[in-house]
Every structure is written in structure tokens, then in C-alpha cells.
Amino acid sequence: MKAIVAPQPDGAEELALIERPVPRPSAGEVLIKVAAAGVNRPDILQRRGLYPPPPGAPDILGLEVAGEVVEAGEGAEQLLGARVCALVAGGGYAEYCVAPAGTCLRIPEVLSLVEAAAIPETLFTVWTNLFGRGCAADGDTVLVHGGTSGIGTMAIALGKLFGMRVIVTCGSDAKAERAVEIGATAAINYRTQDFVEEVKRLTGGKGVRVVLDMVGGDYVPRNLTCLADEGRHVSIAFQRGARADLAISEVMRRRLTLTGSTLRPRELRFKTMLRDEIAATVWPLVEGGQLRPVVDSKFPLDRAAEAHARMEAGDHVGKLVLEVS
């Protein structure tokens, strides 16, 4: 089968289309004939050698796929022949991909395979961080950085469906306009406005219940200022730096919580629990057509490098997807 790896992790042009044997599913796993695979920022980090696959995961890039189950290991036979999308720890940029049955979701008729491939990584991530660790709930106002990212667009859509006011930050006016079209309550251009002041104004000085942060560094103390008392700060990335200088006294005085997580290395049991929660609470909204991913663009598998280049240029809104078959 054809697959994409990063043999020399130092540039998009180094992605290589190679031939590999079709993998075989073990017990509890399925083999998916991949129709489409989502592209995520962590794939770029992996290509650059900054995010190696966890032990046991394939070196083939790709954290999410959609397609048809063509072979099932013991205990996963119920999925044979089904159209599914799946979260995988690697192996998505390929014609065939093995996935745990426990991270598969059946694709409803209302979704295309390209749309389905754009869902798992952001949905699982936003679900466990914004709703799980952040405890965001109906009626809350939350702040999400990277409002037009894959993660940000999913956070806007989910937050809105679950009754939240979602304030986002974006790097241009055009992106801010798109974020509001997608459903953000308000979008702040962080290049021309001070997001701390804007959040204060937009919340009447109360602050937000949760900050979902993918920026890190000097944003962290500023994010804390945006939080209401008892608010929660959830880190999912640190694009401006892995270290932050913050006032512990503020955390104590205002009873703030700092937390975060990274999805890929989590054990299958945890991911399956997330899948079950999502199947029960979010998937009916997908089946009903209320939740769809925002797809920026599609590329054939053999042009994966162009998809990476587009993501790195930072002009996209929503998800990039590779069409495989």
C-alpha cells in the first residue's frame, strides 16, 4: 500500500510516499480501507522530529481516518463492512490503517468521508479538555485561542451546541469574521487588540469560566487575568513557549485551576471511554446534521507535503484533509 512518512524530519518537502505491506488487525482492532485522513498540527511537529510516535504506533503520519472496515480482529467483527471514522496513534496517511475498535465511530449518511476524517482528533481533544478538564457547561463563557484552527473551529461548534458563549482570538480581521460566521460569540484579532482588555469588556468585567490555550508562554499569565474566580486554565499546546511566569498568589487568591493534557499517548481504555461519551452525547448531533467540521481544503495523499505547507503558512480556516481513495 502507499503511505506517507517523514524519513528526514526537517521540512515539508521531506515527506515521502513509500510502499508498505498492508497492516493486519490484532484482536480488538479493525483494518480500515482509508478514504480520507485528517491533517493536524501535531503531524507537522512529528515531521520536524518534535513529536515522535508513542511506543508501538506506526511511523506513518496521521492521527485520524475515515473509510470502510475491510477486516476485523477477534472481538471487533461487528464493525466489518461499516463506514467508520477513527482516532489512531499513527498510520492515517496511508491506503490502509489499523485502528482500535474502541476509537471507531460509525459515519452517518449526512457526513461525507472527507468530513468524517476531519472529526476525531479535534472532537476527542476538545471534548476531554474543554468539557472534561475544563468542566465547561451550559451557560458558561469560555475563551479559546486559535479560533480558526481545526481545534478552534470544533470548540466553537461544540461550545455553541452545548449552550456556551465562545470568545476566540485570531491573527487577522478576516479570520475573526470567519470565526463569528462559524458561531463564535465574539472574535478578537490579537494582533490589533489586547485580548485581556477585550475579554474584560465582553464579559462585563466578570471574566471567563475556562481558557482553552494552545499558545502557552507569555499568554499564560494573561489568560489567568481573563479567568473569573474559580476559573480553569486548560493547556493543550505551547506554540509561544513551554515555560510561563505567573503569580502563584493570584492562583491562590482567586482559586484558579491550571491543567492540561495530551491525547495521543493516553491508554486505549481512556480513549475508548471518551469515544463512548462522545457516542452518547455528541454523535446524535453529528447524525442530526447539527455538528459538521469546517473543512478548509482537500489534497490527494501524494500531495501531503502541500497540505503541510498550507497549514504552516497559517492561512487555513478549519481542517485540511487528505483524500486517499
Ligand X SMILES: NC(=O)c1ccc[n+]([C@@H]2O[C@H](COP(=O)([O-])OP(=O)(O)OC[C@H]3O[C@@H](n4cnc5c(N)ncnc54)[C@H](OP(=O)(O)O)[C@@H]3O)[C@@H](O)[C@H]2O)c1
53 contacts ligand X (rule: CB under 6 A): no
Instruction: Please name which of 71, 72, 66 lies closest in space to residue 88, comparing C-alpha atoms.
Output: 66
Instruction: Please name which of 105, 119, 106, 149 lies closest in space to residue 37, comparing C-alpha atoms.
Output: 119
Residues 222-281 that bind ligand X (CB under 6 A): 236-237, 239-240, 261-263
Residue type, 309: A
Closer to ligand X by CB, 91 or 150: give it: 150
What secondary structure letter does DSSP report for 172?
S
148 contacts ligand X (rule: CB under 6 A): yes
Least distance to ligand X, CB of residue 147, Å: 7
Measured CA to CA, the distance from residue 289 to residue 146 in angstroms comes to 24
What secondary structure letter does DSSP report for 325?
-
Least distance to ligand X, CB of residue 145, Å: 5
Phi, psi of 52 (to 5 degrees): -65, 150
Residues 184-223 that bind ligand X (CB under 6 A): 190, 214-215
Which of 133, 165, 175, 232 touches ligand X by CB under 6 A?
175
Which of 46, 58, 84, 125 touches ligand X by CB under 6 A?
125
Closer to ligand X by CB, 170 or 227: give it: 170
Phi, psi of 264 (to 5 degrees): -55, -45
Least distance to ligand X, CB of residue 2, Å: 23
Which of 145, 178, 271, 308 touches ligand X by CB under 6 A?
145
| 16, 3 contact by CB (below 8 A) | no
151 contacts ligand X (rule: CB under 6 A): yes
Closer to ligand X by CB, 96 or 219: give it: 219
User: What pairs with residue 36 in β-bridges?
Assistant: 66, 323
179 contacts ligand X (rule: CB under 6 A): no
41 contacts ligand X (rule: CB under 6 A): yes
Q: Which range touches ligand X (CB under 6 A), out of 22-30, 74-82, 169-177, 268-276?
A: 169-177
Which of 134, 146, 159, 207 touches ligand X by CB under 6 A?
146
How far CA 60 is from CA of 63, 82, 100, 102, 111, in Å, comes to 10, 24, 16, 20, 26
Distance between start and end Cα atoms, the chain = 12
Residue type, 29: E
- Where on the chain is the footprint of ligand X (CB under 6 A)? 40-42, 121, 125, 145-146, 148-152, 170-171, 175, 190, 214-215, 236-237, 239-240, 261-263, 311, 314
